[in-house]
């Protein structure tokens, strides 16, 4: 039996006092695939409800975001302040009053609530019995068929009709995202080695613009910091440690970046960085376990390559808790698997946010309720408006679900119809982030697991119109995969980078690993170097990247035209000239991008 939070007892007597209200359905979902109902949830189990209030002027925020991110607009780089962003997304006072009154009706005092910086989210811990009354629903315990994770959820909920104008969504209710598959897109290479690669012969790489660069031949078997700087034309560039530029990484699912592993990596690949480290920020119960056996493969990979590429730029690792599975007969005061909102609440509350942030985690888009996905995406837009560039891995399942083995992908809709469809990933599908796909080998070709495709939740943003329209008109034969994807959806990925055979140190040992979890911190590293260029020249940071990438930045990218990423029993899409849903616009050519970002 769960131990209730102290104030939960106060709610119990107030439920009967709440006046009866006619409820109207807010959301209903089909029982998701692979989740099985074990029966009613314990009445005294505590749920951390997050209540989203409508953002009063998000349309204006979005307009500002596109203007200040368009290098041809006179307002380019005029990022908004924390206070300006909060004013645009703050709920209307009527909504604040209505939600407060509704909570009070159920005996929930103001002192029991916590609020996001803009007050557009209200969080309160309540027992199941009260949540069921508030939402006119019944919560059950659900168990996942594969790994036996258990969550307390419902398949529908309602609100009093007069509250629909004041509440957009309440979670966790219908949120069945499988958090072990809110995955680090991580994979060990078939070959693992404890021996450092030794530079030998060189390979001449001819970029898509005809320029040539030399890359150590060893980079075809082992990717190092040196390899990436050679391949992406950044050899010799040294960023500032003191100009205010910062880079950050996010960590979830109890992933800890090990400092001793980082020192081994630096000794192996970045000797100038030896004895330097990074800042760790703990959010929502996040941890920083430095025991060697607890070293996180994803966290070590992200930290070693992002901070190795950008040394001595100050780096931060955000360790966010709140996403472990729970067993409902264990004392668990919270049951939250929405860590993006916990992280967003924290970061948006800061007056200074790192200019570049990479995240190597994601879900199948369809497992995230569309209302929740759109609110999280709106949070990313707020960061973009404040001048932060956000990179997300595009996933490791090609056009399919996150299973990297095409033979075992289900590729069926999660709405009870079980229709075969390509499965895009989230948050990569959010139009306000930069989705990073993967390449392999020297010269580069598309890696066969690079996640890509088209969102079913978000429409195609205008910055993609020309590139994606050209792809459909001249690169994809008419009728190819008809019905398997949404041709009007936000297209994924935007860009790409090397994503396999990365030499990392985990638990004191060297391994080769890969995944688009390697390409996202890699691309972010070069974005941070570009921010260093701009800041050192008195310019504002790049902020939201995509309007720049699609209008001018593509000229500083290496177009990848070979390879494909299969999935769902198909060969998937092909890499081709121009934008494609495997490698996006291509991989970075830092020297060319450096000139481009100083041209406006």
What pairing do the DSSP bridges indicate for beta strands 315-320 and 156-160? unpaired
95 and 226 in one domain? no
Catalytic status, residue 105:
no
**CB neighbourhood size of 485 (10 A):** 22
Residue 356 lies in a domain: yes
Torsion 266-269-272-278 (CA) sign: negative
The residue among 563, 522, 511 whose CA lies nearest residue 189 is: 511
- DSSP bridge partners of 127: 46
Query: Are residues 258 and 130 part of one domain?
Result: no
Name the stretches of the chain with pLDDT < 70: 1-21, 178-200, 322-338
Angle at 540 between CA 537 and CA 545, to 5 degrees: 115
Catalytic residue of the set 216, 297, 302, 559: 302
The domain of 30 spans 8-55+90-176
Beta strands in 237-298 (DSSP E): 247-251, 279-283
Q: Are residues 229 and 373 in the same domain?
A: yes
Closest C-alpha among 483, 471, 499 to residue 574: 471
Count of C-beta atoms within a 10 Å radius of residue 526: 27
β-partners of residue 513 are 188, 502
Same domain? 142 vs 260: no
Q: 176, 201, 234: which is the final residue of a domain?
A: 176
Buried b (16+ CB within 10 A) or exposed e, 291-313: eeeebbbbbbbbbbbbbbbbbeb
DSSP bridge pairs for 125:
48
Residue 288 sits at φ, ψ, to 5 deg, of -145, 65
Supply the CATH number for residue 567's domain.
3.40.50.200
In a domain, 141, yes or no: yes
Q: How far apart are CA 358 and CA 350, in angstroms?
A: 18
CA distance 148 to 323: 15
* Beta bridge pairs of residue 357: 248, 390
Q: Is 517 a catalytic residue?
A: yes
263 shares a domain with 119: no
Number of Cβ within 10 Å of residue 448's Cβ equals 20
Number of domains in the chain: 2
Q: What is the 3-state secondary structure (H, E, C) of 368-430?
A: CCHHHHHHHHHHHHHHHHCCCEEEEECCCCCCCCCCCCHHHCCCECCCCCCCECCCCEECCCC
C-alpha triplet 357, 344, 552: angle, nearest 5°:
40
**298 classed as catalytic:** yes
Together in a domain, 111 and 244: no
Give the H/E segment covering residue 320.
strand 315-320
- Same domain flag for 321 and 376: yes
Flag whether 588 is in a domain. Answer: yes
Query: Which residues 6+ apart lie within 8 Å of 327 measured at CB?
Result: 150
Q: Are residues 329 and 418 in the same domain?
A: yes
Which of 578, 583, 585 lies closest to 474, judged by CA?
578
- 479: in domain: yes
Tell which of 176, 191, 226 closes a domain: 176
The Cα 498–Cα 15 span in angstroms is 56
Which of 126, 156, 176 is the endpoint of a domain? 176
Residue 66 inside a domain? The answer is: no
The confidence score (pLDDT) of residue 181 equals 35
Whether 146 and 233 map to the same domain: the answer is no
Q: At what angle do helices 259-269 and 297-310 cross, to 10 degrees?
A: 50
Q: Using an 8 Å Cβ cutoff, are 433 and 65 in contact?
A: no
What does the alpha-carbon distance between residue 189 and residue 566 come to, in Å, rounded to a whole number?
18
288 and 411 both lie in a single domain: yes
Specify if 187 maps to a domain.
Answer: no
Q: Would you state the pLDDT for residue 367? A: 85
Residue 151 pLDDT: 86
State yes or no: cis peptide before 134, omega within 30 of 0: no
Token representation of residue 29: 């979902």
Residue 446, C-beta contacts closer than 8 angstroms, at least 6 positions apart: 437, 438, 439, 440, 496, 560, 562, 563, 564, 565, 575, 582, 583
In a domain, 334, yes or no: yes
Taking a C-beta distance cutoff of 8 angstroms, is the pair 454, 487 a contact?
Answer: yes
Among candidate residues 70, 261, 297, 298, the one labeled active-site is 298
The answer to whether residues 424 and 536 belong to one domain is yes
Residue 405 pLDDT:
73
Are the CB atoms for 130 and 4 separated by under 8 Å? no
Considering the domain architecture, whether residues 168 and 263 belong to the same structural domain is answered as no
In a domain, 23, yes or no: yes
Q: Which of 517, 519, 520, 541 is catalytic?
A: 517
């Amino acid at each position: 039996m769960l131990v209730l939070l102290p104030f939960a007892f106060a709610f119990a007597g107030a439920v009967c006092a709440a006046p009866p209200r006619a409820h109207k359905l807010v959301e209903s979902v089909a029982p998701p695939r692979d989740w099985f109902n074990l029966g009613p949830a314990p009445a005294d189990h505590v749920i951390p409800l997050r209540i989203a209030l409508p953002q009063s002027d998000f349309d204006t925020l979005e307009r500002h975001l596109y203007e200040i991110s368009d290098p041809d607009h006179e307002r380019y780089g005029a990022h908004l302040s924390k206070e300006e962003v909060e004013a645009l997304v703050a709920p209307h006072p009527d909504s604040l009053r209505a939600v407060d009154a509704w909570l009070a009706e159920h005996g929930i005092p103001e002192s029991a609530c916590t609020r996001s910086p803009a007050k557009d989210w209200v969080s309160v811990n309540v027992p199941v019995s009260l949540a069921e009354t508030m939402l006119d629903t019944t919560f059950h315990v659900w168990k996942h068929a594969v790994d036996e994770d258990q969550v307390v959820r419902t398949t529908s909920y309602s609100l009093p009709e007069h509250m629909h104008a004041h509440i957009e969504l309440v979670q966790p209710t219908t949120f069945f995202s499988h958090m072990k598959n809110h995955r680090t897109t991580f994979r060990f290479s078939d070959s693992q080695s404890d021996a450092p690669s030794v530079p030998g012969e060189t390979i001449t790489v001819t970029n898509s613009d005809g320029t040539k660069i030399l890359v150590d031949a060893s980079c075809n078997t082992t990717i190092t910091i040196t390899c990436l700087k050679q391949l992406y034309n950044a050899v010799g560039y040294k960023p500032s440690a003191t100009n205010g530029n910062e880079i950050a990484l996010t960590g979830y699912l109890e992933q800890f970046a090990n400092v001793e592993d980082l020192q081994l990596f630096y000794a192996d690949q970045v000797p100038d960085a030896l004895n330097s480290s990074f800042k760790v920020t703990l959010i929502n119960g996040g941890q920083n376990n430095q025991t060697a056996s607890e070293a996180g493969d994803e966290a070590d990979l992200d930290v070693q390559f992002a901070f190795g590429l950008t040394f001595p730029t100050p780096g931060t690792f955000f360790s966010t808790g709140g996403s472990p599975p729970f067993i409902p007969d264990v004392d668990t005061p919270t049951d939250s698997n929405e860590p993006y909102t916990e992280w967003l609440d924290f970061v948006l509350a800061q007056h200074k946010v790192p200019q570049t942030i990479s995240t190597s985690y994601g879900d199948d888009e369809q497992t995230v309720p569309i209302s929740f996905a759109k609110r999280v995406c709106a949070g990313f837009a707020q960061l973009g408006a404040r001048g932060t560039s956000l990179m997300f891995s595009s996933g490791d399942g090609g056009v399919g679900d996150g299973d990297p083995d095409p033979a075992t992908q289900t590729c069926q809709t999660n709405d009870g119809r079980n229709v075969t469809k390509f499965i895009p990933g989230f948050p990569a599908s959010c139009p306000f982030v930069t989705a990073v796909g993967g390449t392999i080998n020297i010269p580069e070709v598309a890696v066969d697991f690079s996640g890509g495709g088209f969102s079913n939740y978000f429409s195609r943003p205008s910055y993609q119109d020309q590139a994606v329209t050209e792809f459909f008109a001249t690169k994809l034969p008419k009728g190819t995969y008809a019905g398997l994807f949404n041709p009007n959806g936000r297209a994924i990925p935007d860009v790409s980078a090397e994503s396999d055979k990365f030499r990392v140190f985990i638990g004191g040992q060297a391994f080769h690993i890969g995944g688009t979890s390697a390409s996202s911190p890699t691309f972010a590293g070069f974005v941070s170097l570009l921010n260093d260029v701009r800041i050192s020249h008195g310019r504002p940071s790049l902020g939201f990247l995509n309007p720049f990438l699609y209008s001018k930045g593509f000229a500083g990218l290496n177009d990848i035209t070979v390879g494909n990423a299969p999935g769902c029993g198909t060969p998937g899409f092909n890499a081709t000239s121009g934008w494609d849903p495997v490698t996006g616009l291509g991989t970075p050519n830092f020297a060319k991008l450096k000139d481009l970002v100083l041209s406006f």
